C-alpha cells in the first residue's frame, strides 16, 4: 500500500506541475484511499497538496475542506500546521475575506521561525492590503519583507522557489 500511496502522490505532483489540476486531485484522492488512517502526518501532507491544487482550480469549498482536514490531523505546532494555515489564508484572500486572511497570515508569522516564510507571508499580506486599497500597510508589509532578506546571500534552489 505504501508504494501505491507514494506513487499516487508523485503522480499528483506531476499532474499539478503540468497544469492538470483535475488529474492531480484525483491522484491525491487515490493516494488517500490507500494510505493508512494511522499516518496522520502523511495524510495531512497529501491534503495540503490537494487543497493547494483545488485553490488553483477555484474549487474554494474543496480547498477549504482539504485545509481544514489538514489542520485537524497535524500537531498543534510545526511547519505542516503553518502550511495548512497559509493555505487557508490564501483561500480567504481569494474569497475576499481579507480580515480572516490577515488573521491566518498573522498566525503563520507568529509561529514560523524561518525568514523565508516570514518574507513570503509579508509579501502575501501586502497583496491583501493592496486588494483593500490600503497602500500604507501594503508598503509596510513589503518593507518588513525586504528587511528580512539577507543582502548578497546566495539562496538555495528550494529557498529561491519559496
**pLDDT score at 43:** 93
**pLDDT value at 152 more than 70:** no
Q: What is the pLDDT of residues 105-149, one digit of tens each?
A: 999 999 977 888 889 999 999 999 999 999 999 999 988 888 877
Q: Half-sphere exposure of residue 8, counting CA atoms within 13 Å on the CB side?
A: 23
Question: What CA–CA distance (Å, rounded) separates 130 from 77?
Answer: 30
Question: What CA–CA distance (Å, rounded) separates 64 from 52?
Answer: 10
**pLDDT score at 5:** 63
**pLDDT score at 65:** 97
**pLDDT score at 4:** 63
**pLDDT score at 52:** 96
- Helices 79-94 and 115-131: crossing angle in degrees, nearest 10, is 10
Average pLDDT of the chain to the nearest whole number: 87
Residue whose cell numbers read 484522492: 29
DSSP 114: S
**Global confidence as pTM:** 0.82
Q: What is the mean pLDDT of residues 80-100?
A: 95
Ramachandran sector of residue 150 (left: φ over 0; alpha: ψ -120 to 50; beta: rest): beta
Amino acid at each position: 500500500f505504501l508504494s501505491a500511496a507514494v506513487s499516487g502522490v508523485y503522480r499528483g505532483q506531476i499532474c499539478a506541475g503540468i497544469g492538470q489540476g483535475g488529474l492531480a486531485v484525483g491522484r491525491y484522492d487515490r493516494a488517500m484511499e490507500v494510505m493508512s488512517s494511522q499516518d496522520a502526518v502523511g495524510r495531512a501532507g497529501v491534503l495540503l497538496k490537494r487543497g493547494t491544487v483545488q485553490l488553483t482550480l477555484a474549487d474554494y469549498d474543496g480547498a477549504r475542506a482539504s485545509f481544514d482536514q489538514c489542520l485537524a490531523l497535524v500537531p498543534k505546532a510545526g511547519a505542516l500546521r503553518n502550511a495548512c494555515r497559509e493555505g487557508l489564508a490564501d483561500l480567504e484572500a481569494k474569497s475576499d475575506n481579507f480580515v480572516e486572511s490577515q488573521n491566518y497570515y498573522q498566525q503563520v508569522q507568529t509561529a514560523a521561525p524561518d525568514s523565508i516564510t516570514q518574507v513570503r507571508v509579508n509579501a502575501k499580506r501586502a497583496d491583501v492590503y493592496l486588494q483593500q486599497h490600503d497602500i500604507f500597510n501594503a508598503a509596510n508589509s513589503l518593507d518588513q519583507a525586504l528587511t528580512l532578506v539577507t543582502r548578497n546571500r546566495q539562496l538555495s534552489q528550494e529557498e529561491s522557489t519559496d
